[in-house]
Amino acid sequence: MTDIATKTSSITAPDLKTVLLATGCVLTLAMGVRHGFGFWLQPISMSHGWTRETFSMAIAVQNLMWGVFGPFAGMAADKLGTAKVIILGAVLYALGLAWMALVTAPVLFVLGSGLLIGGALACTTFGAVSGIIGRTAPEAKRSWAFGMSSAASSFGQFVMMPIDQQLIQHAGWQNALYVLSAVLLIVMLPMAWKLREPQVQAATGPQQSTMEAVREAFSHKPFLLLLSGYFVCGFQLVFIGVNMPAYLKDKGIVDPSIAVIALSLIGLFNIFGSYYAGKLGGLFPKRYLLSSIYLSRSIVIALFILAPLSPSSVYVFAAAMGLLWLSTVPLTNGVIAGIFGVKYLSMLSGFVFFSHQLGSFIGAWLGGYLYTKNGNYDAVWLIVIALGLFATVINLPIDESATEREVKPALA
């Protein structure tokens, strides 16, 4: 099979604006719904008589499967086109939300929602869409385009947090899942049809098969360092996103609107953080920007848990974390594209994102496990800070130079 990045398309490809609009709508909804799952932790657990560890395990499996399926979704997007992958993801997402609403057996809830929504997220988020964005955007605007894409997902978090909470409050947690399931299909399917791969002339330079690209990446030290850093990113974000509402209630802040506002502020400020991370990535070495982000996260989290807790401190923490939330995404994708090119960008981004989701799995599970064991989240906060310092160090030596490949005849 000839991959889409090296053949000439017979269909007029959309411009960058159309690609960013369509993928932005998909990311807005996919990430917006996903970031709101923390609001279902307590109502689902209370309704079924589960401990928090059960729901946390479901989210952990979901994030792990998101990572496991990510390279395959990216490979399919590179080979078959992003539109088909997004359509599959929309259907899986709708089924997964319905599954969460209907299933009452803990094991089935964990496995079913984990597999369905994990697969859906792999098909509708960064790994799946990064390839078409990278191939459509000119090199000078690529980092900016990734930043716009990341900002769209943050906008989804900002918009969907209050919607999720209001749906649960007024329609009930089950009906809220049904409504979101329908909305996903209504929005994502038309957006997928807008995506056509950019027209690319037959390549004449050094060529690679899929497996050659994988072997090259995993033998490259900068790629392995990116994998390690992204593990930390996933651990931090999912622990905070899933456990923040419950953490605030445990500390005496019982007004649910405070958690809603906090998570919305993360989304709002990450719009700016992601956008400007993308812009700065075109001006400064991305490895230094990544290290600065991880260091800043550790400082912000340490100040948050040390300072007296109040609604004001929660809002300041949320705004600061928002600036740092997904700002790693455009920089990481930019480093991958700069080193390895864009032909297999979705697939390689999928591998890096698997590491992110492995961290997410452990962060989601460990939060629930240590809370059940200790009755608080104190130990996990310390782990989050230490991992941030680790990621600060390992991103510094990343070499962003493009790889040099032996010239071989073009593959059929």
Tally of domains in the chain: 1
Nearest to 389 by CA among 281, 285, 296, 284: 296
Range of the domain at 100: 13-199+210-394
Residue 408: what pLDDT? 52
Residue 206: what pLDDT? 55
Asked if residue 5 is part of any domain, the answer here is no
Phi, psi (deg, nearest 5) at residue 291: -60, -40
Q: In which residue are the tokens 């994502």 written?
A: 188
Residue 375: what pLDDT? 82
**Token code pair at residue 334:** 């930019």
**Token code pair at residue 309:** 């807790």
Asked if residue 190 is part of any domain, the answer here is yes
326 near 32, Cβ under 8 Å? no
> In which residue ranges of the chain is pLDDT below 50?
1-12, 201-205, 410-412
Per-residue pLDDT of 265-322, as tens digits, reads 887 898 888 888 888 888 889 999 999 999 999 999 999 999 999 999 999 999 999 9
Residue 198: what pLDDT? 64
Q: Residue 22's domain is classified under what CATH number? A: 1.20.1250.20
Overall residue count recorded for the chain in this entry: 412
Residue 412: what pLDDT? 43
Q: Using alpha carbons, list the distances in angstroms from residue 166 to 14, 37, 40, 130, 322.
A: 37, 13, 12, 32, 22
Q: What is the pTM of this model?
A: 0.73
Residue 292: what pLDDT? 95
Asked if residue 403 is part of any domain, the answer here is no
**Interacting residues of 382 by C-beta distance below 8 A, sequence separation 6+:** none
Residue 200: what pLDDT? 53
Which amino acid is residue 224, in one-letter code?
A: L
Asked if residue 2 is part of any domain, the answer here is no
